[in-house]
Structure 1
Amino acid sequence: MVFTVVFAGFTSCETVDFADINQNPNEPNQPVASSLLANAEGALADLLTATTPNLYVQYLSNGQYEEESRYQTLNWDWEGWYAVLTDLQRVIDLNTNEDTREATATGDASNANQIAVATILRVYFLEMMTTRWGQIPYSEALQGLDAQFPTYDTQEEIYNGLFDELDMALDMIEPGQGPNGDYLFAGNMSRWETFGQTLKMTMALRLSVANPTLGAQKFNEALGNAISSNNENLYYSFLADENNDNPWEDRFLAPSFRRDYLVSDVFVDNLVGSGASNMPEDPRLKEMAEPATSSPGNYIGAPYGAVNSATDDYSFITEDIIFTQDAPAYIYTYAQVLFARAEAAHLGWTDEDAEMLYDMGVLASMEQWGSSNEEATAYLAANPYTGPQDIGYEKWVALYLQGYEAWAEWRRLKAMGYEKELTAPAELLSNATDIPDRQAYPATAGSLNEENYNQAVSSQGPDELNTVLWIFGG
């Protein structure tokens, strides 16, 4: 079953340029499915490079202005994400409506492949949204005047619905070309199959606390079909063009020219480990960060949650990312899949070998970041598998700069009891009492949909940053 999930009346926090993609449905012009899909895919750019979640999990520290690392922002708008869902729903509608489906498929992919791609992508966005806010409008959303005040579905209802949607989409994939407008995977349906199966595996592991029985079932359904090598890593490709280049480069060079987002002391110190600042134990640090400008050859992390005005004294993110317009943004990686499989083996969900998969995960992450085989082998020999806490730590390292995914996994691992331990700054802003467990609803949510907002807050808990969500043990 495909749920129609779109809602109007809120504003997006991420800076996504949606241009003119949300056309007036009363206008006579026919929307073009390929343009709608292309604009929806474009929303991935800012999502995958968002700064705040990378600060939550302490990969980064701020420079002169430390408020973001002290959780200043309470309310997070979501109109942009529902606008994206609107476009994806319109792609589905154009391919299912008897009056438009034939014309929509003419000169394009089959109706089935277009529906499959749009559905997989919207499941990805919706899963991201529920891990940020918790209960959200889902089953009654995007129905316009038919449901002006949609209910907020529980996370359990949302995950059940998303699994149904994803399974339907995967079953629909046909041989042949994918849709026009797909610049994420250039219409390669085998890549979309891999994306959908890896998304399914990731969602299944998210249930390790809230519903491990369903989680194990769905995990095994995806096992063997997810990313199987670094060559299959899923990422958003940017261009060496100001119209679609890497947002990290935009922050450090034109148009922002802002020397901020230093690598945190928490991350640097952990990767330096038993080594030295000029020779870290973990060779990935040399690929992930730059030595401090004022201390050549030395990797020095900036104190987390503090004002760090003397930015030359600390390490920045690698120039391969912050000074490179076409540096990719990872969606899912082989290392992430291997650590997921290692944890599933530890949990008894599969009969695979947790230690072997842990070793493979470390080596895959090393390869992804460009460390040599010799460096990777030496690191692994010094850091063998001893239990799930090792998986938790290595997954934290491997998800470097994958902000929202890293934050979601850190919260889940925390509920499991083997996360990389992190400590919040001493003085927090907003109503935070610790590292955020969620983001609060848009500031206008209570006034625009009061009854359903109040019901969600009553059921889920206070609309605050440290209300633990159902999916993470709340």
Structure 2
Amino acid sequence: MNKNIKKFVFAALVGSVAFTSCNKYLDVNENPNNPEKVEPNLLLPTVEASLSQIVGNQLQVYGGLWAQYWTQAPSSSQYQTIDQYNLKNTATDRIWSTIYRSALNNAEIIINSERGANNYTIGMAYLLKAYTLQVATDAFGDIPLDEALQGATNLSPKYQTQKEVYNSIFESIDKGVELLKGNLGTTPGEQDMLFGGDKTSWIAFANTLKLKAYLRISNVDAATAQAGIKALYATNPTFLNEDVSITFTTTGGNQNPFYTEMVGLKYVQNVVASGTAVKAFAANKDKRSFALYNRLLKADNVTLQDTVAYLEQGDFRGQNTKLVSAPSPVTGANAKNTASAIAPVKLFSIAESKFLQAEAALKGWGTGSVATLYNEGVTASFNYLGAEGLTEYLAAAGKFPTDASKQLEAIITQKYYAMNGFQNFEAWTEYRRTGYPTFLIQSKASILANGEMPQRLLYPNTELTTNLNYPGTKAITVPVWWDVK
């Protein structure tokens, strides 16, 4: 498949996922033409692109509002129910469908394909499966696993516990690495949209994913997390030192998925700057905010001095005349600026990799200098945004604390800043795991009891109405397994 054909397939793929709730284009398991014989290399980009839809669109919105980078724009209403924590089961049908019918099922077809020349692609599919499972279980809690990945014959797959899902994640990572380290297989080349088939990068991806997964369960099962991380470091692992992104073009159908969604909504700006994040940046004299949000303009188009205008989280009622900053197009979330079309969807960032390593070292389970890794994480964030003031920041508000009791908070809080606009779902997930940053507030539009915050997504209506093993709806205030804070 040459590059132009691949772009055409990807464009069709993105358009199909963005504008249909049941992704027939990608649903290979409903294709009667013997799907098991589909070339694995041709399916690999469908898995990667499906992940870009999940992470870069729907979960980007939930994470953006619940991590309080963004809030509902006062002049529109598209995401009011999310900002109100007032969800219905139908809200997550599309996310669930993309996870299972597109990403996981297509990954499973690759995994079950003939071994030999396909080994490297199968190894990559195992790692993409592990990544997708973690996203799914972190969002929903217990989920269908083994019975859900056996084709379309079982319409009522049993749900399995998050602990079982995490065990499957570690198992899939190990199987993927084993195949990638083997000497048998042909790389998929350009059909791999993440690394161009580079095995070394995929192994670094696997190591970083495993580290993240063990840290995610470290509060609920410290013994397993400690043993797993120490075993990982005993292999002298390489971790990601590059962003892992799906990139896009200005061509319709091959654009950033959140921007594509906004195009479909007639270019309405539905999210604006939240005071929670903006005030935290301002208190630290952190100039990254000017790269992440638009500065307001006077009538003569002269920028106001160092101004990002915001709404308090959920304070959208009666604010129709208030001027407020939209997210910068660098995040893909600015409906009025076509530069949003080319914003990447990040599955991992350099900053996240460094902060994960810093936390492992802080716990005594990994190696390296905690302060150095922390500084490298902050530096990676500033460098990516081209923000000014890094040296001053690291010497003042962003300086790594000498007080050991403050160090984990510093690592996670800086991770929060670095993920703004790019890894919103991960930032919200880390907040649930750690309780950091401490400055998040309950949305002013919340329908929940005082002080309550969202802890999970609701299971989709499609499961409620069709799966005989549906475990019952859990309120969004019910923590997932690993969330014991």
Give the TM-score normalised by structure 1: 0.83
Distance 1:209 1:15 in 2: 38
1:152 is displaced (CA, Å) by 0.9
The answer to whether the 8 Å contact 2:291/2:385 transfers is yes
1:136-180 residue CA offsets vs partner (Å, 9 max, x unmatched): 111222335764432211111111121011111111104675226
Give yes or no for the alignment of 1:304 onto 2:338: no
Report the more deviating stretch, 79-88 or 421-430.
421-430
Distance 1:93 1:385 in 2: 47
Give yes or no for the alignment of 1:211 onto 2:214: no
Distance 2:484 2:20 in 1: 31
User: What does residue 3 of structure 1 align with?
Assistant: none
Structure 2 residue matching 1:191: 3-state secondary structure: helix
Correspondences of 1:189-268 after superposition (within 5 Å): 189-223=199-233, 225-229=237-241, 232-251=242-261, 256-268=266-278
Match of residue 147, structure 2, among 133, 140, 163: 140
Report the aligned-residue RMSD: 2.7
1:84-108 residue CA offsets vs partner (Å, 9 max, x unmatched): 2111111122224xxxxxxxx7xxx
Give yes or no for the alignment of 1:22 onto 2:23: no
Instruction: Report the residue type matching 1:22 in the other structure.
Output: D
1:27 is displaced (CA, Å) by 3.2
Match of residue 364, structure 1, among 366, 380, 395: 380
1:54-83 residue CA offsets vs partner (Å, 9 max, x unmatched): 101000011132333112324222122111
User: What does residue 394 of structure 2 align with?
Assistant: 380
User: What does residue 88 of structure 1 align with?
Assistant: 107
Question: Unpaired runs of 5+ in structure 1?
Answer: 1-11, 97-104, 275-280
Report the more deviating stretch, 116-125 or 420-429.
420-429
Give yes or no for the alignment of 1:32 onto 2:39: yes
Correspondences of 1:450-469 after superposition (within 5 Å): 450=468, 452-454=469-471, 457=472, 463-469=474-480
Correspondences of 1:252-291 after superposition (within 5 Å): 256-273=266-283, 281-291=285-295
1:443-465 residue CA offsets vs partner (Å, 9 max, x unmatched): 24244334x323xx5xxxx6110
Structure 1 residue matching 2:148: 3-state secondary structure: coil
Match of residue 434, structure 2, among 413, 420, 431: 413
Rate the CA distance shift 1:55–1:62 in 2: closer, same or farther, 3 A.
Answer: same
Question: Unpaired runs of 5+ in structure 2?
Answer: 1-16
The answer to whether the 8 Å contact 2:18/2:257 transfers is no
1:217 is displaced (CA, Å) by 2.8
Distance 2:19 2:365 in 1: 37
1:240 is displaced (CA, Å) by 2.0
Distance 1:213 1:270 in 2: 35
Rate the CA distance shift 1:263–1:178 in 2: closer, same or farther, 3 A.
Answer: farther
Distance 1:228 1:410 in 2: 22
Rate the CA distance shift 1:433–1:225 in 2: closer, same or farther, 3 A.
Answer: same
Correspondences of 1:42-81 after superposition (within 5 Å): 42-49=49-56, 50-63=60-73, 64=75, 65=77, 66-75=80-89, 76-77=92-93, 78-81=96-99
1:202 is displaced (CA, Å) by 1.0
Rate the CA distance shift 1:226–1:311 in 2: closer, same or farther, 3 A.
Answer: farther
Distance 2:160 2:46 in 1: 27
Distance 1:222 1:311 in 2: 54
Distance 2:21 2:227 in 1: 36
1:51 is displaced (CA, Å) by 1.1
User: What does residue 8 of structure 1 align with?
Assistant: none
Distance 1:200 1:311 in 2: 48
Instruction: Report the residue type matching 1:287 in the other structure.
Output: A
1:135 is displaced (CA, Å) by 0.4
User: What does residue 399 of structure 1 align with?
Assistant: 419
The answer to whether the 8 Å contact 1:227/1:333 transfers is no
1:321-348 residue CA offsets vs partner (Å, 9 max, x unmatched): 4332222121111211221222222222
1:379 is displaced (CA, Å) by 0.5
Rate the CA distance shift 1:443–1:433 in 2: closer, same or farther, 3 A.
Answer: farther
Count of residue pairs brought into register by the alignment: 431
Structure 2 residue matching 1:72: 3-state secondary structure: coil
Rate the CA distance shift 1:412–1:13 in 2: closer, same or farther, 3 A.
Answer: farther
The answer to whether the 8 Å contact 2:40/2:118 transfers is no
Rate the CA distance shift 1:182–1:465 in 2: closer, same or farther, 3 A.
Answer: same
The answer to whether the 8 Å contact 2:194/2:246 transfers is yes
Report the identity percentage.
25
Match of residue 314, structure 1, among 302, 315, 324: 324
1:167-210 residue CA offsets vs partner (Å, 9 max, x unmatched): 11111104675226322322222222222221111111101111
1:255 is displaced (CA, Å) by 6.2
Instruction: Report the residue type matching 1:390 in the other structure.
Output: A
The answer to whether the 8 Å contact 2:69/2:274 transfers is yes
Instruction: Report the residue type matching 1:136 in the other structure.
Output: I
The answer to whether the 8 Å contact 2:49/2:246 transfers is no
